[in-house]
Amino acid sequence: MVATRRACAAGVIAISPARTLALALHAGQEPATSRKPAKTVLTKGDGRLKPSKAKSTLSLPAPNPKNKPRSNGVKPVPLTLAPPSGWRAIWDLIVELRADRTAVVDRMGSEAISSSAPAQSRAYETLISLMLSSQTKDTVNLATMLKLREHGLTVDNILATPDEQLNELIHAVGFHNNKVRFIKQSTAILREQHGGRVPDTMEGLLALPGVGPKMAIIVLRVVYGKVVGISVDTHVHRISNQLGWTGPVATKLPEQTRGAIEAWMPSDIWADVNLVLVGLGQEIQTEKPKLLRKCLECSDPDAALALVARLGLDVPRERAKLAKGNAV
């Protein structure tokens, strides 16, 4: 154990042949041996982990060569899936890697923006932030929201703002022309049909132009404390398919993925899935050195390295870069 920690601190850790668990993960096969990690869950406070006595086997389903998300040719996903073998241990390991809450989404995502909004306008700001967030980086979304706050982000003020001026305020986000129209139409509906309040039902939210299930689920959870489903964005969609959590056939659209994972995933973790997987996906794409260090320092480095490799991280390359940096 001491030797392992020293190797971790140096940025280099040897993968022992005895670690059949991690090797099975990397190969996408069921391991002959298994570990029994403590179940970990995120708390609402500082994101630290709570251990429990749940027993599980860390394994990934065998990789399916066709298991690659696509954008069209949609077929319904059966909603009678059995829980994938070893999913709980995989989830616990991901939660451990995400316990620090240092991904971009943790600091600049719609939920972070919502938490800093004034109480009287929190619901409306959350809705607008989510409408702006599609096809937009979190950093750009945050900067745009700060502009809108300075302008006056209220139902009445947005309706009084000329379209051209609103477009100028949000021009940095993706599809800003469409979003001006959606924001104006949805805001008008809020004032005319809901007394200026954001609806607290899926039906009411989905009736707003530009609002889809992903946004509606987050609004209900963040603003009203209602957990009605799993919000699936591109990161959740991709990772769920990579892990084999969507069944034997790959899902092609986020809503298919939502139906597939909600069919077997316990509802008590639905609230955490989006933030945990979005942050992991961001770190795999843009914060590789930090993620690698977390893998090397976690409770099971071999399994963590195999997991992130399965999710697309070039582990040998990143370890070589880390070792080179430590040697300087």
CB contact burial 6-16 (16+ within 10 A = b; e otherwise): eebeebebeee
Does the pLDDT value for residue 243 go beyond 80?
Answer: yes
- Please pick, among 214, 252, 288, 294, the residue that the annotation labels catalytic: 214
Note whether 98 and 235 are same-domain residues: yes
Q: Is 71 exposed, middle or buried (0-12, 13-18, 19+ CB in 10 A)?
A: exposed
pLDDT at residue 103 is higher than 80: yes
Mean pLDDT, residues 105-130: 91
253 and 216 fall within a common domain? no
Q: Write the DSSP assignment of 6-37 as a string of letters.
A: HHHHTT-----TT-HHHHHHHHT---SS---P
Q: How confident is the model at residue 327 (pLDDT cuts 50, 70, 90)?
A: low
| For the chain, percent of residues with pLDDT exceeding 90 | 70
User: Residue 50 domain-assigned?
Assistant: no
Say if 51 falls within a structural domain.
no
Rounded Cα distance between 245 and 248, Å, is: 9
Active site residue 214: yes
Q: Is 49 helix (H, G, I), strand (E, B) or coil?
A: strand
Q: Which of 224, 252, 282 is the last residue of a domain?
A: 224
Please state which of the ranges 29-38, 150-159, 258-267 shows the lowest mean pLDDT: 29-38
State whether 119 and 210 are in the same domain.
yes
Give the count of domains, the chain: 2
Q: Where are the beta strands (DSSP E) in the chain?
A: 39-42, 49-52
pLDDT of 143 strictly over 70: yes
Instruction: Identify whether 52 is part of a domain.
Output: no
Q: What single string gives the DSSP state of each residue in 78-128? A: PS-PPPPTTHHHHHHHHHHHTTT--SHHHHHSHHHHHHTS-GGGHHHHHHH
What's the domain range around 291?
2-38+57-71+82-103+231-327
More confident site: 140 or 1: 140
Give the residue with greater pLDDT, 27 vs 241. 241
44 lies in some domain: no
Q: Are residues 170 and 206 in the same domain?
A: yes
CATH number, domain with residue 189: 1.10.340.30
Query: What is the per-residue pLDDT for 306?
Result: 98
The distance between the two most distant Cα atoms of the chain, rounded to a whole number of Å, is 67
What are the backbone angles phi and psi of residue 245, rounded to the nearest 5°?
A: -80, -10
Residue 235 half-sphere exposure, CB side, CA atoms within 13 Å?
Answer: 20
Give dist(CA 253, CA 241) in Å, integer. Answer: 11
- Quick one: tokens of 15? 């993968």
134 and 158 belong to one structural domain: yes
- In degrees and rounded to multiples of 5, residue 49 shows phi and psi of -95, 145
Q: Are residues 257 and 182 in the same domain?
A: no
Prediction pTM value: 0.75
